[in-house]
Structure 1
Amino acid sequence: MRIARTDKSSMSPMCTATTNSRPLALACFCICVGLIGIVSGCQSTSHRIPTGDTLISKPDSERSQTGEQGVWSHWLAYSVDYLDTFNELGQFVAATEFLESQIEEFRARPRANSASFDLLALNALLEFLDDPEVGLDLARRLEPTNYSESGVKALILGHMHWVLQDCEQAVNELSKFSPMHNADSLAWSRRVWNVLTSWCMYRVQENQPQRLDSAENWWELAHLVGSSISPNQRYERFEQWKIGHPQHLAARFPPFRHDSTRYNSPRRLALLLPQEGSLSSAAQAIRNGFLAAHFSASGMKRNVSIEFYDTEESDISLLVDRVVADGADVIVGPLDKDRVRAVVRGDSLPVPIVALNRVSESIISNSSSLQLSMVVEDDVAAIAKKLQDMRAERILLLIGESFWCARASVALKEVLPRATRVADEILLTDLSEITDGVSQVLLVAQSISRHERLEELIGEVEFTARRRKDVDAIVAFVDYAEFGSITAALRYHFAGEIPILVAEPTFRNRVQHVEYENGTLFTSIPAVLYPSSWVAEVFDSFTDATNLFPLYAFGSDAYRVAMNIPILDRGDSVFGLTGVLSIRESGVVSRQPVWGMVAQHELTPAPVIGYPSSSQSRSLLSNPR
């Protein structure tokens, strides 16, 4: 059993920029810990941020009904909290150093026992960073001797499965443990809810056989809350759910803000869209999605009215003034950038306005405005985070001819992790030349050239062209036709095993039964990968949904945002059909897409993805299901 390492993984140089400036990393880390304390429900603790040379001090905690200290009286509970944040920030080497420092400090204690629960738990967490399978096995073998250690074991297993993006097992492990006093109960309720209220929320409608009975009610609650259109609907659903589950942990200790006072939901919505012009088809799809969301919301169609305004009729500033005078509670629109720019540059309004496009944050002066959009920059941000999770040091960047491809490539270079760099890039201008272009970027052409020079010197020799081996991933911002040519060229040049990441536009409107390259990872809108009854109704009702479905989903999200502005304003997220929606300080509504993977030539949700390990040749899919 390895307790601590002195050598570093071969992947360590990737994070050099992060760990060499560790005080800065920990400064950022301190900010996040305050949020963790709120989420975990531990409001009176004395724990300190680990600095690498001291163990976390033990907080005060009430005792359980058996007289034992609570789970968060155990310093390892906070270590798991810190590791959650390190993982979120992508600071894997910092996490390793933190655990190693805790191990060394613990071993230096008087009468330290190498077989103690604490040391074995730390070692399991440390091993997990290098090899998830080994770490999980060690964690499962932990033998707690008291209540707090049992809770810590459940926390560790929940953390590990969460890092591996295995929602079901994370909730299963956490729901096995029964907290025994109020402080632990509230913290535990919030911890389970944190797992559910992530991308896992989109899995609530799936029937997963690996869900334990003790976890099923959590998934039922997540479905009711996540599919709620408005705060009032969420309130009503939660109250009804509590009646059927009065002894459930979430009923006794609500994991989310559940105000007894009702929100003043908007009663009159104004939708500002063009009825003619180049954007009229897109506007029609958005309008249909908006109305479909409205009529699918229980009770909303009786309590909320929608007025439609044509933005082509008059100056946008005059139109907005007229809409306010007509008594609208929330304005949704306009759509085109010029009118959005005029709105966000204008004076603040007495009612919120949800613009349906995104402009530069530097020009915003209207504090009552939000900007909801479905831009490729949100997909690029997700790709950058994925590269960080993969610990990819060198990538190839392939750029298609479409304008969005160039736009995405510029955005990626601005948000790449500090430890990741573009080893090479190629602009694809002609499909017939893609094979040659891929050959150049993979250095296959150079290999052939070296062979030719060698034959000139020594005569004919047996030869197989070789590609470069220093590439961890390929990011391709390309259209579908370009993608097909690229994957064929990669296979031809023996590069089919390199992970390929593409953005949502590549597979847009190609939902099922199309020949894709297996193993490709792509960002997607949840409505494509996790279809619901709403999606089925849209396809049945509107003939243009096949080609314009993302705009229908965007229209639905516009309705959700309009009905949930109080939720977004206080920092919570809304689980939309285009992604997880949240507000940045500038009023921009950011969209976090979900990840899919091509499997059996169809678009499917991405499987469980874990840390790459030193024994797995840096494969993204280190633990596929």
Structure 2
Amino acid sequence: MLKHYLFVSFVVVLTGCTTPTERPSETGKKPRAPDQSLSTLLIRAEQAEDLAATEFRLAAAARALDLGDARQAKQILELISNPHTVESTSTDYLILAARTAVANGDAKRALSFLGDRRLQSATLTINHQTSIARTRSDAYQQTRSFVASARERIYLDRLLEDSELEENHEQIFSSLMEVPARSLATQANRAITSDVRGWLSLAALAKLHQNDPLKQLHELNKWKRAWSHHTASRSLPRSLKMLSRIVSERPSVIALLLPLQGDLSSRGQAIRDGFIAAHYEQNGSAQIIIYDTTTATATELVNRAKAQGVELIIGPLSKDAVTEIASLNLNIPVLALNRTSDNSLNPNLYQFGLAPEDEIIQVIEQVHSERLKHALVIYPDREWGSRNFAAFEQGWRAKGGNIVDSATFSNQRDYSDLVKKLLDIDSSEKRASDLRRIIGERFEFTPRRRQDIDFIFLLANPGQARGINPTLEHFYAEDIPVYATSHIYESSDSWIDAIDLDGIRFCDIPWKLTSFDTIQKKIQSTWNRADGQLAPFYAMGLDAHRLYPRLQQLKELSNERLYGATGIIRLNQNNEIERELMWARFKDGTPVSAPMSAQ
């Protein structure tokens, strides 16, 4: 009872509510939660007896969940000593506990609640059934069981009002688009019900032809004729509704603004070749005009392009040139291949870059989702290392993380002193030496490393990492996970060269970790450099071609994504392209791609 009292007192202080004087008039009457605050519900639970107390706490937990406080909802549910006295409270408790578990990121526990035999045998209302289906779908989504998640939503469809169907269809389609096209087609052929088979075949054609809007529209029209009575045909996902408009509004003249001479020429040429390869693969009808940005200012080239009837500009590549363009009065869309140096914006400027800071953000999100907190950071003693360490430090501290120590390295061959100092091995060895001197005897001794490190963030290229990673293992840090960015991996390296990188987790573009598609294979067979350091820029050229017809779609539909060679692409409210990369881990000298989820 003291525990209950202290918890209720804490809530009252937070919400600033006063204690009500009235008690529920009927002990067994279900509380009217919508009329009462969270603190009021908790206080009434303390004043009520048994069943009524349980009902008030269930209402309070539901209110906390609606307010976005899943942690408090969990605490309130833990105050209920016996929720299964009657079927009604048992059902409400199991559903609410499952919803709370999902909100706290514990999908396994949520599915356990939903699979409880008492819930399976209960008499369920329509509201119960819809809540169960939504919660189970969300739990499956968290475990990356995307088809299972969609199936729950497909079942839910027939329980919903017409006004709710559109949003449910968006959820179904979004889940299925996470699945590879080949897998979707295979599962469509195996599906037992026509509802599921129709959705799977729709998602399969959308995923398979996402890079060719005209082909996608043609296949969609065929699907609509074959599935005219399917629920998705009556209420298509919003992205598919836009297809006709996307096809009709494609630009007929496109300008590429790229550096073809000077320091950035190799990158500019790689982007050009990736773009042109995609254009010819689709038998593109648009006219492509290429401008060398080393021959004139960005402003001059934009004006020249306008005069030649260009309807869309792709480029430039350098930050300075993109910043210059952002200040112009643009009356045609520009898909820049970098971001402005001063964060300036322009309503007709779309910023698509491969900034390493984006990878830093993804590393931070991943380790935070795994509930790791204490970081050790190792980075090179140069401008690139300092800039990325600063980005990590700022982002990690904003998440509540802690950096227990950090160190820089230069062009050295032996990292023993660096690693020993970071792991505090020197102190352990000194203690052993002092003890030998005190007792006057020799004894076997294994040094101990410091124990306050949850993970190591390593900023390094493959050559540097090949020296650092084995040294960490040698000095007893083999059980500490090591995270890195894409700079750790060169796809042209042999497995012998990469064997010393085993265990390192890193994020990278799909181009380097998978056989992306037929165009990628053709590009790699044509240009040897497409497998080496220039791989991201060939991928960028390919994605620029696939991205430009979808810009308006990405802008209007905030949840829309494009599955590209540089990552899963979204457009934020500032017209900046955000990319979600793939995760991989070195095993036997080979990167093995795998989804990374919270542990």
- The letter of the residue matching 1:569 is K
Q: Is the 8 A contact 1:229 1:564 kept in 2?
A: no
SS at match of 1:433: coil
Match of 2:376 in 1: 396
Following the alignment from structure 1 to structure 2, what is the Cα–Cα distance between the partners of residues 340 and 464?
56
Cα distance change on mapping 1:439 and 1:341 into 2, 3 Å: same
1:119 to 68, 87, 93: 93
Whether 2:113 is the aligned partner of 1:138: answer yes
Whether 2:262 is the aligned partner of 1:277: answer yes
SS at match of 2:254: strand
Match of 1:163 in 2: 142
Deviations 1:201-250 (A, max 9, x none): 5x344579889726565454334334423666554443333233334443
Following the alignment from structure 2 to structure 1, what is the Cα–Cα distance between the partners of residues 385 and 256?
31
Over the matched positions of the two proteins, sequence identity in percent amounts to 23
With structure 1 as the length reference, what TM-score do the two structures score?
A: 0.75
Match of 1:566 in 2: 552
Shift of 1:164: 2.8
User: Which has the larger displacement, 271-280 or 205-214?
Assistant: 205-214
Match of 1:351 in 2: 332
1:555 to 527, 536, 541: 541
Match of 2:485 in 1: 503
Whether 2:316 is the aligned partner of 1:334: answer yes
Q: Is the 8 A contact 1:348 1:367 kept in 2?
A: no
Following the alignment from structure 2 to structure 1, what is the Cα–Cα distance between the partners of residues 87 and 306?
71
Match of 1:31 in 2: none
Cα distance change on mapping 1:259 and 1:370 into 2, 3 Å: closer
Match of 2:568 in 1: 580
After superposition, where does 1:30-179 map in structure 2 within 5 Å?
A: 53=39, 94-101=69-76, 116-126=90-100, 129=104, 133-141=108-116, 142-143=119-120, 145-146=123-124, 147-175=126-154, 177=156, 179=158
Structure 1 residue runs of 5 or longer lacking an equivalent are 9-18, 24-46, 56-74, 87-93, 613-625
Q: Is the 8 A contact 1:193 1:255 kept in 2?
A: yes
With structure 2 as the length reference, what TM-score do the two structures score?
A: 0.78
Whether 2:199 is the aligned partner of 1:224: answer no
Cα distance change on mapping 1:224 and 1:261 into 2, 3 Å: closer
Q: Is the 8 A contact 1:448 1:465 kept in 2?
A: yes
Whether 2:503 is the aligned partner of 1:523: answer no
Following the alignment from structure 1 to structure 2, what is the Cα–Cα distance between the partners of residues 250 and 81?
35
Match of 1:537 in 2: 522
User: Which has the larger displacement, 399-408 or 468-477?
Assistant: 399-408
Q: Is the 8 A contact 2:511 2:535 kept in 1?
A: no
Q: Is the 8 A contact 1:384 1:412 kept in 2?
A: yes
Match of 2:175 in 1: 195
Whether 2:269 is the aligned partner of 1:294: answer no
SS at match of 2:584: strand
Following the alignment from structure 2 to structure 1, what is the Cα–Cα distance between the partners of residues 210 and 63?
31
Match of 1:262 in 2: 245
Match of 1:436 in 2: 417
Following the alignment from structure 2 to structure 1, what is the Cα–Cα distance between the partners of residues 87 and 79?
12
Match of 1:619 in 2: none
Match of 2:468 in 1: 486
SS at match of 2:202: helix
Cα distance change on mapping 1:522 and 1:249 into 2, 3 Å: farther
Whether 2:461 is the aligned partner of 1:467: answer no
- The letter of the residue matching 2:508 is S
Following the alignment from structure 1 to structure 2, what is the Cα–Cα distance between the partners of residues 219 and 292?
30
Shift of 1:254: 1.8
User: Which has the larger displacement, 424-433 or 600-609?
Assistant: 600-609
Give the count of matched residue pairs: 537
SS at match of 2:499: coil
Shift of 1:363: 4.0
Following the alignment from structure 1 to structure 2, what is the Cα–Cα distance between the partners of residues 50 and 354?
52
Match of 1:456 in 2: 437
Shift of 1:470: 1.8
User: Which has the larger displacement, 407-416 or 581-590?
Assistant: 581-590
Match of 2:403 in 1: 422
SS at match of 2:335: strand
Shift of 1:384: 1.2
The alignment yields a C-alpha RMSD, in angstroms, of: 3.9
2:428 to 447, 458, 482: 447
Higher relative contact order (CA 8 A, sep 6+): 1
Cα distance change on mapping 1:82 and 1:528 into 2, 3 Å: farther
Cα distance change on mapping 1:551 and 1:172 into 2, 3 Å: same
Q: Is the 8 A contact 2:133 2:152 kept in 1?
A: yes
Match of 2:393 in 1: 413
1:313 to 286, 291, 295: 295
Larger Rg: 2
Following the alignment from structure 2 to structure 1, what is the Cα–Cα distance between the partners of residues 483 and 462?
13
After superposition, where does 1:573-612 map in structure 2 within 5 Å?
A: 573-607=561-595, 609-610=597-598, 612=599
Shift of 1:578: 0.7
Richer in helix (by share): 2
- The letter of the residue matching 2:333 is P
Shift of 1:545: 1.4
Shift of 1:587: 3.3
Shift of 1:582: 2.8
